[in-house]
Every structure is written in structure tokens, then in C-alpha cells.
Chains A and B, each alone.
Chain A
């Protein structure tokens, strides 16, 4: 909450965003050493060094908002996302992306809404924070925006039906 305030959010809600986890490298037990969390609408991927189960144990209130409308990203898109991550950190350059089907993960996030002056011609802004660490996750913003747009479209369709 303090971080949401610091980032200027006036209102907020909890949500869970569905991402697809692709294994990276292998540890001593031949399990993936890390995970690349992808979304077809995200500009960048998230690198996840821990066990995937931690993503489900977050201290986020039961999120009524479930953002899970997207289908898994194509393999080309995943390769591109992984390429960008390796560009950013050269130590990852030799790590291989495992050729196994991805796992769907629900990542808890806090959505903060900024825009006190929106009525006076200003803009609304969305802030996405990790529900696990509280860190801002700007790389997931476009994914969240797309999911929210899908949700709004679905509600409109339901109302018109």
C-alpha cells in the first residue's frame, strides 16, 4: 500500500494475471533452474528464479479480478522475449529455453489507478505491482491493459445480450 501511494495511485484492486511459464536451463535434479513468464501482449517477459509454487502463496486478498483471457504466446514470440532478456543480461546468454509445453501460472498483482486530474483533461495511468514482492512490474502493463480491455468488452457484450 505505501508503495502504491508513493507511485501516485488513488485507487487500487487486487488481481491475478495468467502467465505462461517456460523452463530455463536445468538444475542438479534436471528441473528447470528458472522460469520465463510470458504473456502474448507483454512487451517483455519476467524472469522467475524461484519455485513456481510461490506464485500461488502470495499474501494478496482473494482477488475477484482474474485476468486470464489470453491464449499462450507463440513459440516465435517466446523466443523473441527470451532474446530480449538475454540482451539485457549477458550472463543469461548461454542459458537454454527448454522445449517442453509451458505451464499456466496465476501471478498475483496489485493494480493502482492514477488520474486525479483526468476529469480536467489529464490522463489516467495504471500502475502494476507484484503481489509477491511489491515491486513495480512495468513490463506487464501492456498485458494487464489488454486483459482489462478484454474484460470490459466481455461485459459490454453480456449487457447487450
Chain B
């Protein structure tokens, strides 16, 4: 059995120093909160897209997903199968409105549309949910490192928090995105090297993995059960999961803030395409590592650890040659950093933009707000650290994060949809919908026995229904309040006029409509993925 050698430590330390240096480099040119939170709106779409990918492939995925794969094969892939469709909805519906509104925090839009109370409640909910989730994000990689180094988990949490906070404080969102780009490659390299080594250690190589997976039903990804209590049925993944991911990528400031750093709307939309195409294959990769680990454990007669989150790190320590274990641990670090930094920066953005500049110090200089933003990052680092100490009791880590989010994000998504799609909804309706939507999710989860994947669907539907109906009890919003979200051209007289003018205007030479083509591409990709899973399942059961 190998141990974590000095060579491993060197690889890990060199990597950490590299990331810290890059983060510090971006801090030097920052003079305003726009630089700190939006990177001066100069970041290219491909970098934003890779950053979104890296955050999604957080340490929780890196560690938790192999545990999922070990336990249930690829069944949980249905949770992610909807991501291409969710991205298409974001590209068409949310990104243009958010970007054109010129906002830092997406909750600013809710104030313009519904007034200050809705903004404050939404932003407050985000701070609670993301703050808790950040604690879990910190806990998972600390757990891995404690297994490798023999340190206590709490000490490891503190060390990691100090590292993450310090370079996020220095570099802001620019450092977050550009370090994520590097970390994305380290992360994938770590995963691919792990796969290669595992295959090499099996006498039959890939055929052993496929034979073991097929004989144990690990490739059965599509459960067509209509029973809503079946957690990972195809319908839960499609109808529940799509709202989960629209809400996560569209109403979670830590995700959508990066899209706001793009120079214009088309580049913001393009950045989401990368995630739309690659997030499902990425999750498949990590789940497949779990299937490979199950094969490896079976062939070597090993007993899996009680906590499946320790499965992959234990394998790395025991099976990897010197140096490579350090590389994979750098991958774990990369994953942890890429999730932590974006969460801390977005928590700071919402704290400063939605609360500090409105209620604490409304008239201050940009330099003051920049300083306040950095202190807010430190505060959230401390908050996440304290919560991380208790995260071990929250059950399987990856599900814990999604559960925390699903109490809030469905209702939040419903409120944003009302803001954008309904002219009649007013402040009273929006706030009622938001609060009752959350209450409904809590009620369904407490009293009913349905898959947690439906939580966001319940939240969205209750929020939309209650929000609209309660709005009818108060006057409609003014034209000024609708200015950011409503396009009047849908009125019949405007349509008639546009039809006449369009008929008389000069033609633009034919070319595919890019946005529509992009969305159709994502829908086609979703169909390809679904067909692939069907074929895999048919082959495995043949």
C-alpha cells in the first residue's frame, strides 16, 4: 500500500501556490465593486462556461458521485439528464433579462419589479441556503484530506477555509473564473488518471467493468415507474430535475453571477452552452468511476468503507503510485476551490449589494464598498467554516446540498418567472407566492412521500399560482415597474403594424438563427443522451 509521500505533498503544494498566485494577480487591478463582482464585464464566454463546469464538478461531485456510482450504478444520472433542456430555458428566458438589466445581484431585479421587500427576502434566503451549502462544500474535501493526511477533519476544514478565503478576497470574480479554468483541467485529469489506473489494475480491463456493471444492474439508468415516491425515476429526473437545474443555474447568484460578467447577452448565452453539452458527460464520468470502484472492490475482495464519501480517497491512497496520489488530491483541491471561491464571492456580492449599500451605508465611495466586499468574503468564510464542523451529521453529502437548495430555489424561480412573464403580478402576490411556495415544499417533504427531486416543481407551481391569484387582490403594477421585463410588441395592434412593416422592409439574407439553433442543439443533445442511456440499459439487460 502506498502512502502520501513527500512527492505527493510537493505536487499538492505547488498546485496550491499556483492557484493562490493567480488569484493574487487579479486583485491588483481591482478598483471598484464592478471589477470585484463582475470582472469589469470583460470575461470571455468560454472561460465563464468552463468556470460553471468546474463549480458543478465540485469536490462534492468528485467525492460523492463515485459513492453514488458504487452504490446505485448510473441510476442517478437521470437527475442530470435534463441539464441541456434547463440551459436552453435559461438562454431564452432568463439570461437576456438579467444581463440587459445591468445588475450585480439578480435580486436587484426583484426590487425594480416588486419592491424592496421581495428583494430583501429573496436575497436573505439565498444567503441562508448558499451559506449552509458552502459549509457542506468545505466539509467534503476536508474529509478526503483528513483520510489522506491523518489530520483531524476540523483542522483540515480550517486550513482549507483560510486558503480559499484568502485568494477569493484578493482576486474577486476574475480570480474565481480564471482559476476555475485551470482547475477544470486538473480536475478532469485527476478523474481520467484514476480511471486509467483502475482499469490497469483489473485483469480483464474494461470488459471486467462492463460485465460486472451489467450483471449487477448498474447500467439501468431509466426507471419508468410512475410512483412519485421513487426517488430516481425518469419522470422525477425530467419534470422535477429540470426545475431543480433551472432554479440552480438561474436563480442562484453563485451560478448566474458569472454569466453577468460577460460583455454582452450573446456571450452570456454562449457560456451556458458549454455546461449544457458537457455537464451530463461529466457526471457520467464520475458515476462510472463508482462502477469501476465497485468492480475493483469485488475483484480484490475488499470491504467498502461505511461512509461512501471516503471510498474514492481511500482507493487513491491505497492504490496510486507516489506522485499520482498528489495529482489526484490536487484535483480534489481544485474541485473544492472552484466551488468555494464562487460561493464566497456571490455571498459577498449579495451581502454588500442587497443589504450593506441599502441599509447600512448607502452613500459611500467605491473604495469603501470594495473594502466592505472583501470583509464580507472573510465573514462568509468563517460562517461556512463553523457550519462545516456540523456537516458530517447531514447524511450523504451530495444529497444534503441539493436538499438544502430545494427548500428555497423552487419558490425563488417561481417569483422570477412571475417577474418576467406576468404583467399582472404585483409585490403582494410575489411575496405571498415566495413564502407559500417554500412552505408548500416543506409541507410536501414533511408529510408526503415523494421524491425530493419534485421539491422544486412544487415550489415553482405553488409560487406561480399563489403569486398570480394574490396579485388580483391589489392593483396591477405600473408601467415603470414593468420596464425591465415586459415587451409590448405582443399586443395585437403592434403585431398588425409590425406585420405590415416587415412585409415592406428589405430582406436580410438567409442565415440560421443562432439562439434558436443553440437551443435546438441542446434539445437534440438531450435526445441523444436519452437514447444512449436506453441503448446502454437494453444492452446491459440483454
Contact = CB atoms under 8 A, between A and B. Distances in A.
B501 A148 contact: yes
Nearest to A6: B514
B210 to A, nearest CB: 44
Contact of A142 (B265, B366, B488): B488
B495 A13 contact: no
A90 B33 CA distance: 10
Contacts of B103: 88
Interface string B24-54: 0000000011100000000000000000000
Contact of B497 (A6, A112, A152): A152
B506 A124 contact: no
B360 interface: no
A152 B483 contact: no
B498 A11 contact: no
Contact of B366 (A10, A87, A91, A149): A91
Interface residues of B, number: 45
Given A12-B505, A126-B489, A141-B487, A5 B511 contact: yes
Contacts of B501: 13, 111, 113, 148
B207 to A, nearest CB: 48
Contacts of B531: none
A136 B507 CA distance: 19
A37 interface: no
A10 B508 contact: yes
Interface residues of A, number: 40
B500 interface: yes
B371 interface: no
A11 B506 contact: yes
A104 B497 CA distance: 26
A144 B102 CA distance: 21
Q: Per DSSP, are chain B's interface residues mostly helix, strand or loop, or mixed?
A: helix
Nearest to A88: B102
Most buried by B among A8, A111, A124: A124
A16 interface: no
A12 B33 CA distance: 39
Nearest to B491: A145
A93 B361 CA distance: 14
Interface in A1-32: 1, 4-13
B416 to A, nearest CB: 18
A10 B498 contact: no
B482 to A, nearest CB: 8
Contact of B489 (A6, A10, A141): A141
Interface in B463-504: 479-480, 482-484, 487-490, 493-495, 497-503
A7 B266 CA distance: 9
B516 to A, nearest CB: 7
Nearest to A8: B513
Contacts of A138: 100
B497 A123 contact: no
A95 to B, nearest CB: 13
Interface of B: 32-34, 100-103, 108, 112, 264-266, 357, 363, 366, 369, 479-480, 482-484, 487-490, 493-495, 497-503, 505-509, 511, 513-516
Given A11-B507, A148-B497, 7 more contacts: A11-B505, A13-B506, A84-B112, A115-B498, A126-B498, A145-B489, A152-B497
8 contacts: A8-B514, A90-B33, A91-B32, A115-B498, A118-B495, A118-B502, A123-B495, A124-B502
